[in-house]
Structure 1
Amino acid sequence: MNCYRENSCEREDRKMYQFNREEYEKRMQWFVNARFGMFIHWGLYAIPARGEWVRSFEEIPKEDYMKYFDEFDPVDYDPKKWAKAAKEAGMQYVVLTAKHHDGFCLFDSKYTDFKSTNTKCGRDLVAEFVEAVRGEGLKVGLYFTLLDWYHDDYPHYGDRNHPMRNNPAYKNDNRDFSRYVDYMHNQIREICTNYGKLDLLWFDFSYDDLNGEAWRATDLVNMVRELQPGVIIDNRLEASGVGYGSMATGNPKPYHGDFVTPEQIIPPEGIKDVNGNDLYWESCVTMNGNWGYHATDNFWKPSQMLIKKLVECVSKGGNLILNVGPDAKGNIPDASQKILSEIGTWMKKNKNSIYGCGKAGIPKPDNGRLTRNGNKLYYHLYENTIGPMPLIGIKKDQVKSIRYLATGAEVPISTSWVHTDYPDIVFADLGPNPILPDGVDTVLEVTLKD
């Protein structure tokens, strides 16, 4: 493997980079308002149906993996159904794996034959996807891996992730990593040129010595910004699910990510930079235990849990992008569809407590969470209390109104004698029923006086 060596000119270029806060906040505005998105991991790996890392985990040689290329023909592929499912679940953006680590492209690239247009399918699946997502009024995102286990110039033997990492027959003596990076840049140029306006580019991922300028990341981001000026980019040109990237240091590099990408975890207290300022972040989460379709993974997170995790992300100032892994025919699994539908039922009534919301600046209540949008506080109640409901963190003379968000029904401020000992706390009178109207999350919208 040819290791990257940075020179003084490249170091000087990075010193000259000036972060523009105004431009940054402008391009991030839709992302912050959206709060909820759909991730779609889909490719050849849906056929073996053992997850998207199957070729690496099982150390499958290229020639053995090619049978899935020969077989690929997703006869039920209809991205309009995917986009509609996302819209009905209350999601505001959708990100598709245009290319995953196995190197197979769902788009028509002129730089490889390993693409969907050369399969029985014979279609540019990305082109159909972006049109369908835009058709539902959603923001369009494409995932593009920095890794490529198909390309001959990508490190094989000794690499931490490559399927042939343990096979000495695949040593790297004649591999030219710079030639691979040229190939990668060319494909990203295609992605940024051939599919109209992109709202989000989700790069994945850096590891070991392969990070930052090993990918020629400054040149890459400059190209992307030129072709897609408003696009949002994640932080994985310099990090992975581990590490926040240079935005967190207070000294962003030219290829800094616009948001941090915690994976399969929600940060315990949100994410801040070294100066204590909030960073934008998006927690990427699977519905079961795999990103790509896995036929025997039935450990599904229930919708009730995922609704509360969405609320948790927003209450900590973050987004949630929830994954689906369509099967080999192009169908979102029934279990995922059911979960999405149930989330959508809750979102239709309570979306105002999610969209445009963030941290409340008030301590988390014992029985739920808090989100906020301006002068509106949203108390997410997961369980009832004994007696009237305490609304910790506000005073009675601050309250303009209290309503059930789902119905708009007024909730009076309690005047009961039982909370006489707590004159500084506002108590809401939810009535005599000990069962909350929504057993998953009952939301009180508290409007504060100007």
Structure 2
Amino acid sequence: MTNFIKAICFITGIAYSSSIYAQATATAYEETNDKVQSLKIQSDKNAVTDALAPGSWWRRSMQDHDQRLAWYTDARFGMFIHWGVYSLAGGVWEGKPVGGYAEQIMRTKKIPGKVYRKLVDNFNPVDFNADEWMKTAKETGMKYMIITAKHHDGFAMYPSDAYPYDIRLTKFKRDPMKELRAAAKKYGIKFGFYYSHANDWEHPDASGRDWDTVGNAYLANLKGAPDWNKYQEFIPRVQKYVNNKVIPQLKELAKYDPDIFWFDTNQHLPISENLRILQNIRTFAPNVVVNGRLVTFNDFNFGDYLNTTDKPAFFRPQNQVWEGLPTTNESYGYSEFDTRHKPASHFIGLLAGAANKGGNILMNVGPMGNGKMDPRDLAILKGIGNWMQVNGESIYGTTTSPLSVQPWGESTYKNGTLYLQVKQWPKDGKLIVGGFNGTLQKAYLLANKSASALKTARLNDKDLIITVPAKAPDSIISVVVLKTTGKPKLDYTRLLSNTTANVLQAFDAALTGKDLLYGNGKLHNEFIRHWKDDTQVLAWNFRLNETARFKVTIEYNTENENESGKVYITVGEKKLWVDYAPTTSKQRVSKTLNVGIIELPAGAHELKLTAGEHQGKYLMQPLNITLTPVN
């Protein structure tokens, strides 16, 4: 999000994540006519044209967008649950651990449907307790829960008269969706369903089963995603699947009174079918929130908000409501042998980072086949809950921070209050808030509201100094609260620290030139890609209150293993260059190179990253440039 947009939102008091999103998407869709005409299937053209027409069903549904999303944008934190008969396998097949997502073991091991039925026959989660699950979510600080009612294996985790491949075929017999819905109401938690509408490995007319019976007919060139232009003769078959299974089951699930429907992998259906599903939902469940993976078209989605990447590590500014999808380890379904669990601090950092940019975190856990939560997950959730119990006020109901990037951490805003989420506690007891000039009622620690107010002073006409205790109240992130009077004056140019490292993230750069793309935000993928020549430039604006010397480093990787070259870092008339060797993001690695020392005077500066000569298709993929103060 640009500083200009942040300023407009802050001045007007409009939450960027709702009203401006509805206006922006409507405007953007006005400019898509050429893209619509580029669609190769006439039924897709017709469906998109009809949805975008003035007064269309889609445009009418967007008139209620803000009201529909009100609870969602306040919630900020939810629990995602992948649980099904695959949980009984626990990432193990025929006695051997299986890599990848455990919930996709059917596809990973190319298990025929008749063999997969052994999991159905033996599924009996006698330890399942809906109240325990919902209480855990509540104690963790989560405000909504989404659970897999049907995943890609096609098995319904509730009694489905519309298509009775469902929970009644197991030894369990009960309806866990009904029990969870009741528990959600008891604990005041919003509740909804993940439904795999496009991938279905059981139905003979569905897409996605690329190893058994009909799947090969739907394969294209990349990752099994269908190219429907090549396989138009199969569209009537998936239409039959949508008619006979998808829409009837969604109508059944709507009777549970859900707050949200969550979809995925829409590339496995033509756009026209995805739109038809959405139009049906808007008819029989008009107030239900629909995520952004049901229907996408070019850079837009027809849902209520955007889903960013799975397993994110970094976030970039967005121009709409959005949600990140981390999971406790590396799988979404329960995996007995996946021990790559992240600590609670990782997810607390994600919560702060997402709220800073106006986003939600939907955090996944994969319960075991017996119905119990994995103890490893429970330990993580407890750690998050401990932090949220004290600091949740700085997350819930907040909007995108009006402050520029701060070297000590993140910040959020709500009703005249700024929450400073400090990761790097100042060693000298002086917390500098760059760009803040306003009237304060009080500054205090969120962890100790009853304590004396913190002392504040003006560093200059743009920046504030807060005197904080020598020891941080929290070892992960401590929150300092600024109660303001009126709208403070803000300087949106980032203030660099002369005591701690300043990381200029590629995601925060201003981009010049065509065709530059963002990485997906996973670890070592928080880069800018498709950098080809010197017409494309990354730039960061910042300022200094006094002369400072910095050690300059750059972190990068390359898309291909034959790409090397030279790039330049320029600040004013000062120019540094660095030669780089190949690496590859596919290996999830990066390299950090020392660039040199640069001395800069007080004042405003612009740092530019520009292209030199290079070998291979693209230049490096920069992740960040770090300026570390040196004596």
TM-score category, normalised to shorter length:
0.7 to 0.9
Give the CA deviation at 1:176: 2.5
Aligned counterpart, 1:71: 122
Match of 2:316 among 233, 244, 269: 269
Identity %: 28
Give the CA deviation at 1:205: 2.1
Name the CA shift for 1:239/1:211 in 2 (closer, same or farther; >3 Å): farther
Aligned counterpart, 2:493: none
- Match for 1:440: what amino acid? I
Q: Does the 8 Å contact 1:58/1:163 carry over to 2?
A: no
State the distance in 2 between where 1:190 and 1:104 align. 14
Give the CA deviation at 1:83: 0.5
Larger of the two Rg values belongs to structure: 2
Aligned counterpart, 2:141: 90
Instruction: Answer yes or no: is 1:186 the counterpart of 2:257.
Output: no
Give the CA deviation at 1:149: 0.3
State the distance in 2 between where 1:438 and 1:266 align. 22
Number of aligned positions between the proteins: 415
Give the CA deviation at 1:264: 1.8
Q: Does the 8 Å contact 2:78/2:362 carry over to 1?
A: yes
Aligned counterpart, 1:236: 293
State the distance in 1 between where 2:440 and 2:143 align. 31
State the distance in 2 between where 1:150 and 1:303 align. 37
Match of 1:204 among 248, 258, 264: 264
Aligned counterpart, 1:226: 283
CA deviation profile, 1:348-392 (whole Å, cap 9, x unmatched): 111110001121111121011111112100001112224311122
Name the CA shift for 1:410/1:211 in 2 (closer, same or farther; >3 Å): farther
State the distance in 1 between where 2:44 and 2:433 align. 58
Question: SS of the residue aligned with 1:204?
Answer: coil
State the distance in 1 between where 2:474 and 2:126 align. 40
Match of 1:245 among 285, 300, 311: 300
State the distance in 2 between where 1:53 and 1:202 align. 18
Instruction: Answer yes or no: is 1:177 the counterpart of 2:238.
Output: yes
Q: Does the 8 Å contact 2:210/2:216 carry over to 1?
A: no
Q: Does the 8 Å contact 1:204/1:236 carry over to 2?
A: yes
Give the CA deviation at 1:4: 7.0
Match of 1:410 among 433, 449, 452: 452
Aligned counterpart, 1:214: 273
Question: SS of the residue aligned with 1:286?
Answer: coil
Instruction: Answer yes or no: is 1:148 the counterpart of 2:200.
Output: yes
Superposition RMSD in Å = 2.6
Give the CA deviation at 1:228: 2.0
Compare 359-368 and 83-92 and name the one that shifted more: 359-368
Equivalent residues in 2 for 1:296-307, closer than 5 Å: 296-307=337-348
State the distance in 1 between where 2:441 and 2:216 align. 72
Match of 1:45 among 67, 70, 86: 86
Q: Does the 8 Å contact 1:350/1:406 carry over to 2?
A: yes
Instruction: Answer yes or no: is 1:19 the counterpart of 2:59.
Output: yes
Name the CA shift for 1:428/1:11 in 2 (closer, same or farther; >3 Å): closer
- Match for 1:270: what amino acid? P
TM-score, normalising length from structure 1?
Answer: 0.86
State the distance in 2 between where 1:8 and 1:321 align. 33
Gaps of 5+ in 2: 1-39, 92-101, 220-230, 487-631
- Match for 2:267: what amino acid? Y
TM-score, normalising length from structure 2?
Answer: 0.62
Question: SS of the residue aligned with 1:153?
Answer: coil
State the distance in 2 between where 1:427 and 1:412 align. 10
CA deviation profile, 1:131-162 (whole Å, cap 9, x unmatched): 1111111001111001210111124xxx5x53
Gaps of 5+ in 1: 247-255, 273-278
State the distance in 1 between where 2:416 and 2:193 align. 35
- Match for 2:475: what amino acid? G
Q: Does the 8 Å contact 2:74/2:398 carry over to 1?
A: yes
Match of 2:476 among 428, 440, 443: 440
Q: Does the 8 Å contact 2:52/2:59 carry over to 1?
A: no
Q: Does the 8 Å contact 1:357/1:371 carry over to 2?
A: yes
Q: Does the 8 Å contact 2:315/2:354 carry over to 1?
A: no
Give the CA deviation at 1:229: 2.2
Question: SS of the residue aligned with 2:372?
Answer: coil
Question: SS of the residue aligned with 1:96?
Answer: strand
Higher relative contact order (CA 8 A, sep 6+): 1
Equivalent residues in 2 for 1:257-336, closer than 5 Å: 257-262=303-308, 263-265=310-312, 268-272=315-319, 279-336=320-377
State the distance in 1 between where 2:218 and 2:444 align. 65
Name the CA shift for 1:5/1:111 in 2 (closer, same or farther; >3 Å): farther
Give the CA deviation at 1:61: 0.9
Name the CA shift for 1:441/1:12 in 2 (closer, same or farther; >3 Å): closer
